[in-house]
Amino acid sequence: MTTLRVPWKLSRVFRKRPRLQRMDTFQKILIVLMVLLSIFMLLPIVYILNHALKPYHELFVYPPNIFVREPTLQNFTELFLVAANSTVPITRYLFNSVLISVAAVVGVTLVSAMCAYPISKHKFPGHRFVFSLILLTLMFAPEVMQIPRYLVVSHLGIMNTYWGHILPLLAMPVGVFLLKQFIDQLPNELLEAARIDGAGEIRVFLRIVIPVCMPAVATVAILTFQNSWGNVETSQLFMQNDEMKNFPFFLSTLTNNAANIVARQGAAAAAALIMFVPNLLIFLFFQGKVISTMAHSGIK
């Protein structure tokens, strides 16, 4: 009996045939549609990048143009001039925002994980009810919580302090939900084996739970950074001292006291880009973790 042998070079070419040639017509159409959808979703990012480089006569053109025709850095120069004339240095606002964002990311991640772990693995009496209450808070609009939050911060005596910025951000029900759903995937046998080896609950939490749940931790960190970096509420409600306010509040005041709707619009466009770039970079850096978290959290 003779065996048909395929030449080595021919078989290698067959194995390395382009993937596009191995797809059927439906898959090719689906790829084209996804590429077009991706381009469409990138348009807001392209617009905000171009908008910051537009001169004044392009900022108010109708209909608005997505792409800048005569790029200029005049908007950033105007922003720096406005910041130079401010009573509080812009570096102070930036320092406050960076400090608040970093502290909020660490605090929210730790608090959410410490709340999700006992609900998921310890099954204490009433854990389902507690988790239901946490999910129930997602139904409340942020405006509903402003007055109760103001009363709590006022009675704690943390007005005009960094704690007044950080503490209202620590309660993040979405973070608890994501981490709880991710911790549910951990096998109980892994935790029991660590306890048999003599590890305490704190060591199990820090050495096993947190490292395994790093995709969810990264996702909560991204959401917290986006929430704290662009947060203006704490500066408006809890801070009367200008030196304790953050960078987003400073940017929101660029056009508030302007004599007309045209003044400082270039500076506002440049400020919007400055506020957007950190969120974009952090999301691009941790996007793989976000996708992994959504896949393990039951979110479709």
Per-residue model confidence as pLDDT tens digits over 125-135? 888 898 888 88
So what's the pLDDT on residue 62?
Answer: 78
Query: What are 174-225's pLDDT values in tens digits?
Result: 889 888 888 888 888 888 888 888 888 888 888 888 888 888 888 888 889 9
Average per-residue pLDDT in the chain?
81
Residue 163 in tokens: 């704690």
Q: Is the pLDDT confidence value at 161 over 80?
A: yes
> How does residue 106 score in pLDDT terms, banded at 50, 70 and 90?
very high
Residue 175: strand, helix, or coil: helix
> How does residue 290 score in pLDDT terms, banded at 50, 70 and 90?
low
Closest of 121, 133, 223, 125 to residue 182, by C-alpha? 121
CA gap 94, 54 in Å, rounded: 25
So what's the pLDDT on residue 102?
Answer: 92
Q: Is the pLDDT confidence value at 68 over 70?
A: yes
Q: With left for phi above 0 and alpha for psi between -120 and 50, is residue 123 left, alpha or beta?
A: left
> How does residue 109 score in pLDDT terms, banded at 50, 70 and 90?
very high
Q: Is the pLDDT confidence value at 30 over 60?
A: yes
Residue 269 in tokens: 């466009």
Q: Give the percent of the chain with pLDDT over 70.
A: 85
Query: What are 222-275's pLDDT values in tens digits?
Result: 889 988 888 888 888 898 888 888 888 888 787 665 545 666 778 888 888 888
**CB of 223 closer than 8 Å to CB of 286:** no
- The pTM of the whole model exceeds 0.85: no
So what's the pLDDT on residue 223?
Answer: 87
Helices (H), the chain: 8-15, 25-51, 56-59, 74-84, 90-117, 127-136, 146-156, 162-170, 173-183, 188-196, 201-204, 210-212, 214-229, 233-238, 247-252, 265-285, 287-296
So what's the pLDDT on residue 255?
Answer: 64
Q: Give the percent of the chain with pLDDT over 90.
A: 7
**CB of 180 closer than 8 Å to CB of 142:** no
Higher pLDDT, 18 or 151: 151
Q: Is the pLDDT confidence value at 16 over 80?
A: no
